[in-house]
């Protein structure tokens, strides 16, 4: 299974790399633990803590996407994935262990990540964040400065006008 999933992720991502292998291995563990092979809607949710190559594997293999609302980016910069089964309430977090100095590289590293012992590649813990609420439709509000629309949750009030985040001018005082 690891090879076919890896090839699917590589086709989506555009090239082979260790990051894609880590994402594929995370997806394999999500499938095994949560019993969902592909998320048609929001039954499977991933909160990714990074915006690196492995996230493309999550999109290609598990069907978690930002547009669907079941891929959420929380930028800690860590190679970590929090997976949730919305139907059962089950969840877990994977964080990649650092590469060992002088360790495997290139194709050897990819093969190791795909087929090696999980406990050598990831630490498995409880998720760090509560299950995100399901995506919902939001009203579009027109910015009174630039005239562009944005969801109401992304608007601010400034000088009595509704303004988008780009037009909003932060007020800073002090250091």
Quick check: helix, strand or coil at residue 46?
strand
The residue-averaged pLDDT of 22-32 equals: 98
CB atoms within 10 A of CB 36: 20
Residue ranges matching CATH 3.30.60 in the chain: 137-175
Residue ranges matching CATH 3.30.1330.130 in the chain: 2-125
In this prediction, residue 19 has a pLDDT band, given cuts at 50, 70 and 90, of very high
When the candidates are 3.30.450, 1.10.3470, 3.30.60, 1.20.120, the CATH number that belongs to 137-175 is: 3.30.60
Q: Indicate whether 45 pLDDT > 90.
A: yes
Q: How far apart are CA 52 and CA 126, in angstroms?
A: 22
pLDDT one-digit tens code per residue, 73-108: 999 999 999 999 999 999 999 999 998 888 889 999
- Range of lowest pLDDT (33-37, 76-80, 128-132, 133-137): 133-137
Whole-prediction pTM? 0.86
Q: What fold does the segment set 2-125 form as a domain?
A: 60s Ribosomal Protein L30; Chain: A; (3.30.1330)
Q: Indicate whether 1 pLDDT > 80.
A: no
- Average pLDDT value for the chain: 95
């Amino acid at each position: 299974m690891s090879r076919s999933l890896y090839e699917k992720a590589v086709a989506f991502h555009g090239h082979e790399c260790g990051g894609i292998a880590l994402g594929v291995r995370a997806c394999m563990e999500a499938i095994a633990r949560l019993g969902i092979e592909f998320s048609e809607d929001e039954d499977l949710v991933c909160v990714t803590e990074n915006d690196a190559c492995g996230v493309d594997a999550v999109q290609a293999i598990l069907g978690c996407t930002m547009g669907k609302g079941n891929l959420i980016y929380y930028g800690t910069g860590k190679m970590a994935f929090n997976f949730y089964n919305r139907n059962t309430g089950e969840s877990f977090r994977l964080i990649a262990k650092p590469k060992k100095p002088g360790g495997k590289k290139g194709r050897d590293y990819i093969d190791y990540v795909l087929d090696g012992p999980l406990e050598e590649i990831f630490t498995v813990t409880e998720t760090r964040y509560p299950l995100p609420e399901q995506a919902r439709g939001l009203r579009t509000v027109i910015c009174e400065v630039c005239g562009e629309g944005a969801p109401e949750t992304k608007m601010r009030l400034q000088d009595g006008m509704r303004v988008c985040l780009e037009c909003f001018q932060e007020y800073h005082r002090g250091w």
